Amino acid sequence: MAAAPQLYQWGARALYLGPALGLSAHRNAVAVVAAGLDERFAIARDPRAPGAGAHLCRMALILPDTLHHHSSSGGRMAFLYVDALSADLERLKASVGKWGNGAGFALACEDRLLGLLARMDEGPAGFIAARPVLEIEILGQAERGIAPGVRRAIEHLNRNGAARPSLEELSAIACLSPSRFRRVFKQATGVSLKRYRLWVAMGTAMRAAARSKSLTEAAHEAGFSSSAHFSAAFRDMFGMEPSRLLRAGLERRYLPPRAE
């Protein structure tokens, strides 16, 4: 099993493998599957009061923009962030056996997915071997039925995260009024344009950090005003500061969108 935390990104999907690192309550801009690779972990019944009871599980599906708090007493965790433009979330939601505490539990694919994530946690060779199986069996390659203009606008945003395309620019690409585009965007992704734009900028910053840029350089490259601004936004999104991941020896790898 790999000792250092690992972060893989391919296309609009991302996967973190490593210790939980004591996350605080946070909201992700896309859906995420949280999995305890070695043991169960806790999802707080009230994320604002983690001591008020929790649901113990090995896996949970957290919907976009849902405040949540999870904790683990030990062992390694996996966080699989899905592609907002694909059918990933629909397939995962269909697998949920029980909903509660702002999360989906008892996924029908749980045992299979845990096995694939454990294989990926073995290192790059394990990730490469398990990735196509994950995509075909669990996620699938299908795209969501999003209007072509809106899809073009979102793809433009993903390609130009550091530039932070404006609402007016994106709505023009989609051939919609700004107010209409804002509503349709939320319907398509499950999160506000502002928060999704921030999510894309996070990816830009982490890719810069993967090229050995300092946090300050990575923050500026992604359009953040300072490293402090980037760190605060990162903590709100992921429940920890990026410096903690880097101190833990995070290994970052970015791959093509599709397995070859």
Answer yes or no: do 227 and 120 share one domain.
no
Total domain count for the chain? 2
Give the helix/strand (H/E) hosting 55: strand 54-57
DSSP SS3 for 258: coil
Rounded to whole angstroms, how far apart are CA atoms 162 and 187? 24
Give per-residue pLDDT as tens, 116-133: 999 999 988 999 999 999
Is residue 117 one of the residues assigned to a domain?
A: yes
- Which CATH number goes with the domain that contains 209? 1.10.10.60
Helix count and strand count (H, E) for the chain: 10, 11
What is the residue whose two structure tokens read 């683990």? 72
Backbone angles phi, psi at 13, to 5 degrees: -100, 155
Answer yes or no: do 170 and 128 share one domain.
no
pLDDT of residue 121: 93
Is residue 259 one of the residues assigned to a domain?
A: no
Rounded to whole angstroms, how far apart are CA atoms 72 and 185? 34
Rounded to whole angstroms, how far apart are CA atoms 213 and 225? 16
Single pTM value for the model: 0.84
pLDDT of residue 260: 38
Give per-residue pLDDT as tens, 151-164: 899 889 988 878 88
Answer yes or no: do 33 and 76 share one domain.
yes
Please return the burial class of 97, using the count of CB atoms within 10 Å of its CB with bins 0-12, 13-18 and 19+: exposed
Is residue 38 one of the residues assigned to a domain?
A: yes
Answer yes or no: do 44 and 155 share one domain.
no
Residues 206/6, Cβ–Cβ less than 8 Å: no
Contacts of 195 (CB under 8 A, 6+ apart): 27, 29, 65
Task: Please tell me the least confidently modeled range out of 66-80, 83-97, 196-210.
Answer: 196-210
- Which CATH number goes with the domain that contains 125? 2.60.120.280
Answer yes or no: do 13 and 135 share one domain.
yes
Is residue 174 one of the residues assigned to a domain?
A: yes
Is residue 59 one of the residues assigned to a domain?
A: yes
Answer yes or no: do 165 and 108 share one domain.
no
Backbone angles phi, psi at 194, to 5 degrees: -60, -45
Answer yes or no: do 94 and 215 share one domain.
no
Average pLDDT, the chain: 86
Give per-residue pLDDT as tens, 200-247: 888 888 778 767 788 888 888 888 888 899 888 888 888 878 887 777
Across 23-37, 102-116, 237-251, which has the greatest mean pLDDT?
Answer: 102-116
Domain limits at 114? 6-139
